[in-house]
Amino acid sequence: MKRFLLRSLLFAVLAALAVGGYVGYRAWTWLHAPLGAGGSRFVTIHEGATFRAAVDAMVRAQIVSEPLIFEWYGRYRGAGAHIKAGTYEVDMGQNPMELLDKLESGALPRQARLTIPEGWNRWQIADRVVALTGADRADFLRRVEAEDLEGRLFPDTYFLRPDADAAEVLKQLTRRFDQVFAGVIAGHPDAAKLAKPGPARRRLITMASLVEKEATTQRDRLLVARVFYNRLDKGMKLQTDPTCTYREDWYARAPHPRYCKAEGNRYSTYLIEGLPPGPIANPGRAALDAALRPADDPAAMEYLYFVARRDGSGEHAFTRTYAEHKAAVDRYLKGITP
């Protein structure tokens, strides 16, 4: 019996040593191997974040694949109190130990995180860019105007050098637009024509910008685009409110008849025929797709009007005639029911 117990104890000790050796070997191997196959990823570590929170952020960013080993190693090093907050670009060719060294010393390349929501215009984007980078606002807006970039400053999240200038920022934004736009037009009969700068592409981006400002659901985007095309086909004015305040000193204001009817307002579709001279905002993928492939069912082909339902759905009521439109306005905007 005693011999059996001794053998069992010896076996347990050997098993524990084997498991410990395997775990140690695995940890050593991972700590000395590259984080990934190359390239870079971005991670944001917030001010006051614990070491555990920093590790979790790196896991979400797909930088750290073995969080328990990394956290154990970091605590062994006493790194928790030395991690510096910021948004960083991480070279995936380095190993976890090198990453921790740079996180502690602040040697990782810092990045500014720029997020552009769908539907922002050039002035809104310029303000955000200037707040985050070294870009000059006047230079940014001058380049947008000179290169006709409104509508092609694609809404997305970008990571930029804090000292990036206007040219560098615009290059990233428009390059992303080109990538997305190529996917949107792929397979469309007019893809070759739309791929090139010219009136057809400008018209599509302008239409998408109107759709982006008017609709928030994909159902509505498709129908709003169809209404606008229907009105254009009939020679009707578009009369879309967001065009009224597309001006640097008005863009933050709510549309009002005094802007829509202001003399010389060349973007107001209450005054001009057809589309405005160019995009009034920067549309996302869904709005671009809706402008290219609007609703085409028989009912949609007859819609000429729409009004916000204001019922929490974010959607609109679509109608064929002005009489139907007035009834919808009474119901949804004035609360008047027949």
pLDDT tens by residue, 28-43? 899 899 998 888 888 8
- Give the pLDDT of residue 20: 47
**Per-residue model confidence as pLDDT tens digits over 236-269:** 999 999 999 999 999 999 888 899 999 989 999 9
**Per-residue model confidence as pLDDT tens digits over 264-323:** 899 999 999 999 999 999 999 999 999 999 999 999 999 999 999 988 888 999 999 999
pTM metric for this prediction: 0.81
**Per-residue model confidence as pLDDT tens digits over 118-167:** 999 999 999 999 999 989 999 999 999 999 999 999 999 999 988 999 99
- Domain 25-108 annotated CATH 3.40.250.10: no
Q: Which residue(s) pair with 318 in the sheet?
A: 306
Q: Where in the chain is the domain with CATH 3.30.1490.480?
A: 25-108
